[in-house]
Structure 1
Amino acid sequence: VVATSSASENDIIEAWCLEHGVSCFRGNETDVLDRYFQCARSLGMSDIVRLTADNPFTDIEELERLIDLHQKQGFDYTHAFGQLPVGVGAEIFTFEALSRSHREGKLPHHREHVNEYFTDCPELFKIGQLDVPLAKISPELRLTVDTEEDWSRARALAAQAGENWLGTEEAISLCSSSA
Structure 2
Amino acid sequence: MTVAALIQARTTSTRLPGKVLLPAAGREMLAHQIDRVRRARRVDRICVATTVNATDDRIVALAEREGVAVFRGAEDDVLDRFARAAETIAPSLVVRLTGDCPLIDPVLIDDAVALLQASADLDYVSNGLEPTWPAGLDVEVMTIGALRLAAAEAVDGFDREHVTPFIYRHPERFRIRNIRCPEALSDHRWTLDEPADYELLRRILEALVPADPTFGWRDVLALLAAHPDWVSINRDVRQTPNPHAP
TM-score by length of 1: 0.90
Q: What secondary structure does 2:103 align onto?
A: coil
Q: What secondary structure does 2:135 align onto?
A: coil
Distance 2:218 2:113 in 1: 20
Equivalent position of 1:121 in the other structure: 170
Superposed displacement of residue 138, structure 1 = 0.5
Gaps of 5+ in 1: none
Corresponding position: 1:161 with 2:212? no
Corresponding position: 1:19 with 2:65? yes
Equivalent position of 1:80 in the other structure: 127
Distance 1:169 1:36 in 2: 30
Corresponding position: 1:41 with 2:41? no
Equivalent position of 1:61 in the other structure: 107
Gaps of 5+ in 2: 1-46, 232-246
Superposed displacement of residue 78, structure 1 = 0.5
TM-score by length of 2: 0.67
Q: What secondary structure does 2:49 align onto?
A: strand
The answer to which structure has the higher helix fraction is: 1
Q: What secondary structure does 1:14 align onto?
A: helix
> Residues 175 and 115 (structure 1 numbering): CA distance in 2 closer, same or farther, change over 3 Å?
farther
Which of the numbers 220, 223, 226 marks the counterpart of 1:174?
223
- Matched-pair contact (CA < 8 Å) for 2:133–2:180: no
Corresponding position: 1:104 with 2:150? no
Distance 1:162 1:22 in 2: 21
Corresponding position: 1:143 with 2:190? yes
Q: What secondary structure does 2:88 align onto?
A: helix
Q: What secondary structure does 1:24 align onto?
A: strand
Which of the numbers 12, 35, 54 marks the counterpart of 1:8?
54
Equivalent position of 1:31 in the other structure: 77
Alpha-carbon RMSD across the aligned residues, in angstroms, is 1.6
Superposed displacement of residue 45, structure 1 = 2.0
Distance 1:159 1:20 in 2: 20
The number of residues matched between the two structures is: 177
